[in-house]
C-alpha cells in the first residue's frame, strides 16, 4: 500500500480536498562515548561546560580528529536503512552565526554524505504498510545550548553538546498525513534502538525532527514548504503537521501565497509561528573543511559491520509469525522494542508460543504500563511468567487462578509452583470433590434445573455457581462435563 493513494488522508477545505506532503529531517545523536571530532565525553546531565575540549570550544589552532566509532555507527545505521554506503565522503563547513556555535561554522556533510538512498517500511496497522524513501544520512556536529532563564538580561551558554555527533537522516517527501509521519518516526526510532546507534530518547533531545510541510490539490505539483524546527516528541510532530497544513490551506484559499520559511512549534499553544525566512544552501557558503581529509573506507570494512548487525524489527516480526505462529498484531507489538522481543523469546522457549505471547502482552505489558515501567525494570522474570504458563498447561491451575498468582508474583516475587503449593491454589480435578459441589448447587436451585433442561444455554449459570462455590479452583472442563451428565443436557 503506498502513501500516495489513500483518499482518507485528504483534508477537506472550502475549495475542495487538499493533500498534505511531509518530509522529515531526523537529527539522531550517535551512541558513542566521545564527540565527533574530540575526545570529550557526551554523558547527559553533566554540570554545564564540564564536557568541553579545546576543540569543542574552538580555541585557536585546535584541529578536529574524526571519531571512528561515530563513522561505524553511521554505516551500521545506513545498512539498517537498506541504503547505499558511500566509500568516500567529505566533511564541509556550513557557515552561520549562532551564539552557541563557537567556531562560527558547523562541520557537516553536503554534496558527498556517508550514506545515500535507502528506505523504511512503515506499519500503519498489522495489515497496512507503506514505504518511505531515505534521501541521505550524513554526519555532523551538534551546536551548544543557549540558556535564557537564568538571568534577567544575559543569556548563558552551555557547550556540553557542542561537537556531539549527530546523524541527520533526511526522508523523501513520501508522507501524506500526521499519522504517517508519526508512524515513520516511531519505526525509524525502533530501528536505531535495535542497531544501538542512537537511544532515541526524545526527552533528552537525542532524537529531534525538522518537519517539512506543504499542501497541494491532489495530483498538482508540490507546493511551497515550510520547515518546523526541532520538534522533540512524536505527538508534537503530529500536532505540528495538522496545524501547519490547516494554516497553509487557509492562506491559499484566501488567495494568498505561502512564504518558504522556518517555523517553530509552540506545544503549549498548539500552533506554529514564524522564526525566520528559509535559507538556501548557498547562504551557508558550504566548502570542504580544510582540516579534514575525505573519509574513505573499503567494502570489506562495510561487510565486517554488516556481518554482525542484529536481527532488525521487520525480520524479527516475520520470524515470530512463521516460527511461533503469532498473529501479525501480536508480533508487531512484541518487536516494537528489542528488550520486549528478547523477553518474549525467553518465555516462549520450549512452551506454547501463543499462550506465552498472550501472557507477556496482556498481563505483563498491561501491568507494567499501568505502573509506568518497562520490561527492563519488570519485577517478574521470563522464568516466572513461563512457570505460570506451565502450571496452566499442565492443569494445575485455571486461567482465573493464574491471574491471582501473577498478582502475587508481581508484588511479592517467588517461584510460581512453590506459591501455588504453599497457598493451596491448585485446581481441583478430583471428580469426587467436584461432584459434591455440583450436587449441592443442583439441590439448592431446583427451579434453575428445570430452566436449564428447557434451555441448555443456562448451563453457564451453573458452571459459574460451581466455580464460585469452589473458590475458582474447580477444573472448568470437568465441571462442564459433569453438569451435562447430571442435568441430562
State pLDDT tens for residues 425-445: 886 665 777 788 888 888 888
User: Binning pLDDT at 50, 70 and 90, where does residue 463 land?
Assistant: confident
Arithmetic mean of pLDDT, 26-33: 98
Which candidate, 102, 440, 323, places its Cα nearest to that of 335?
323
C-alpha distance from residue 66 to each of 39, 91, 140, 368 (Å): 10, 10, 11, 42
Which candidate, 301, 70, 293, places its Cα nearest to that of 167?
70
Contact 162, 141 (CB under 8 A): yes
Q: Phi-psi category of 182—alpha, beta or left, where left has phi over 0 and alpha has psi -120 to 50?
A: alpha
Phi then psi for residue 69, to 5 deg, are -60, -35
Q: What is the DSSP letter of 294?
A: P
Residues whose CB falls within 8 Å of the CB of residue 16, separated by 6 or more in sequence, listed in order: 217
Element holding 345 (H helix, E strand): helix 338-348
Could you please report the per-residue DSSP string of 366-395?
A: HHHHHTT--GGG-SS-HHHHHHHHHHHHTT
C-alpha distance from residue 293 to each of 53, 89, 168, 245 (Å): 21, 9, 21, 43
Which candidate, 24, 6, 19, 5, places its Cα nearest to that of 249?
19
Question: How buried is residue 463: exposed, middle or buried, by Cβ count under 10 Å (0-12/13-18/19+)?
Answer: middle
Can you read off the three cell numbers belonging to residue 173?
A: 517527501
pLDDT digits (tens, 9 = 90+) for 169-190: 999 999 999 999 999 999 999 9
User: Binning pLDDT at 50, 70 and 90, where does residue 2 land?
Assistant: very low
pLDDT digits (tens, 9 = 90+) for 342-357: 999 999 999 999 999 9
Arithmetic mean of pLDDT, 138-152: 94
pLDDT digits (tens, 9 = 90+) for 412-424: 999 999 999 898 8
Q: What is the Cα–Cα distance from 314 to 187, expressed in whole angstroms?
A: 10
Residues present in the chain in total = 489
Q: What is the Cα–Cα distance from 431 to 435, expressed in whole angstroms?
A: 6
When the pLDDT of each residue in the chain is averaged and rounded to a whole number, the result is 92
C-alpha distance from residue 462 to each of 49, 434, 437, 485 (Å): 72, 13, 11, 13
Contact 458, 452 (CB under 8 A): yes
Q: What is the Cα–Cα distance from 461 to 440, expressed in whole angstroms?
A: 14
pTM, entire model = 0.86
Amino acid at each position: 500500500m503506498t502513501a500516495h493513494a489513500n483518499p482518507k488522508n485528504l483534508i477537506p477545505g472550502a475549495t475542495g480536498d487538499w493533500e498534505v506532503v511531509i518530509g522529515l529531517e531526523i537529527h539522531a545523536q550517535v551512541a558513542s562515548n566521545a564527540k565527533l571530532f574530540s575526545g570529550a565525553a557526551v554523558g547527559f546531565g553533566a554540570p554545564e561546560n564540564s564536557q568541553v575540549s579545546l576543540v569543542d570550544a574552538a580555541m585557536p589552532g585546535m584541529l578536529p580528529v574524526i571519531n571512528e566509532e561515530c563513522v561505524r555507527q553511521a554505516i551500521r545505521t545506513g545498512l539498517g536503512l537498506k541504503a547505499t554506503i558511500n566509500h568516500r565522503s567529505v566533511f564541509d563547513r556550513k557557515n552561520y552565526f549562532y551564539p552557541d556555535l563557537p567556531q562560527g561554522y558547523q562541520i557537516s556533510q553536503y554534496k558527498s554524505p556517508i550514506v545515500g538512498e535507502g528506505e523504511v517500511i512503515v506499519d500503519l496497522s498489522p495489515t497496512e504498510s507503506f514505504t518511505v524513501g531515505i534521501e541521505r544520512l550524513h554526519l555532523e556536529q551538534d551546536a551548544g545550548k543557549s540558556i535564557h532563564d537564568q538571568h534577567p538580561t544575559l543569556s548563558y551558554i552551555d557547550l556540553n553538546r557542542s561537537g556531539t555527533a549527530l546523524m541527520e537522516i533526511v526522508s523523501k517527501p513520501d508522507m501524506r498525513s500526521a499519522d504517517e509521519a508519526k508512524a515513520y518516526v516511531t519505526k525509524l526510532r525502533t530501528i536505531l534502538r535495535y542497531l544501538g546507534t542512537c537511544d532515541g530518547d526524545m526527552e533528552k533531545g537525542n532524537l529531534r525532527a525538522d518537519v517539512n510541510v506543504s499542501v497541494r490539490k491532489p495530483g498538482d505539483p508540490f507546493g511551497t514548504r515550510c520547515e518546523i524546527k526541532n520538534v522533540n516528541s512524536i505527538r508534537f510532530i503530529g500536532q505540528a503537521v495538522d496545524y501547519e497544513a490547516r494554516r497553509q490551506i487557509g492562506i491559499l484559499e484566501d488567495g494568498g501565497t505561502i512564504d518558504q520559511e522556518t517555523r517553530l512549534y509552540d506545544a503549549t499553544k498548539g500552533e506554529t509561528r514564524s522564526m525566520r525566512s528559509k535559507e538556501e544552501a548557498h547562504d551557508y557558503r558550504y566548502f570542504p573543511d580544510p582540516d579534514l581529509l575525505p573519509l574513505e573506507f573499503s567494502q570489506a570494512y562495510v561487510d565486517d559491520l554488516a556481518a554482525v548487525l542484529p536481527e532488525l524489527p521487520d525480520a524479527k516480526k516475520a520470524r515470530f509469525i512463521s516460527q511461533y505462529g503469532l498473529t501479525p498484531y501480536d508480533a508487531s507489538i512484541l518487536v516494537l522494542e528489542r528488550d520486549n522481543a528478547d523477553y518474549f523469546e525467553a518465555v516462549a522457549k520450549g512452551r506454547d508460543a501463543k499462550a506465552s505471547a498472550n501472557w507477556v502482552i496482556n498481563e505483563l505489558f498491561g501491568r507494567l504500563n499501568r505502573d509506568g515501567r518497562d520490561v527492563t525494570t519488570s519485577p517478574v522474570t521470563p522464568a516466572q511468567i513461563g512457570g505460570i504458563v506451565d502450571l496452566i498447561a499442565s492443569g494445575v491451575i485455571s486461567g482465573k487462578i493464574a491471574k491471582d498468582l501473577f498478582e502475587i508474583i508481581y508484588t511479592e516475587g517467588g517461584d510460581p509452583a512453590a506459591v501455588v503449593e504453599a497457598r493451596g491454589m491448585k485446581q481441583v480435578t478430583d471428580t469426587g470433590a467436584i461432584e459434591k459441589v455440583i450436587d449441592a448447587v443442583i439441590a439448592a436451585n431446583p427451579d434453575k434445573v428445570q430452566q436449564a433442561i428447557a434451555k441448555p444455554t443456562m448451563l453457564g449459570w451453573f458452571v459459574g455457581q460451581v466455580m464460585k462455590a469452589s473458590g475458582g479452583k474447580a477444573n472448568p472442563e470437568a465441571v462442564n462435563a459433569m453438569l451435562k451428565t447430571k442435568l441430562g443436557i
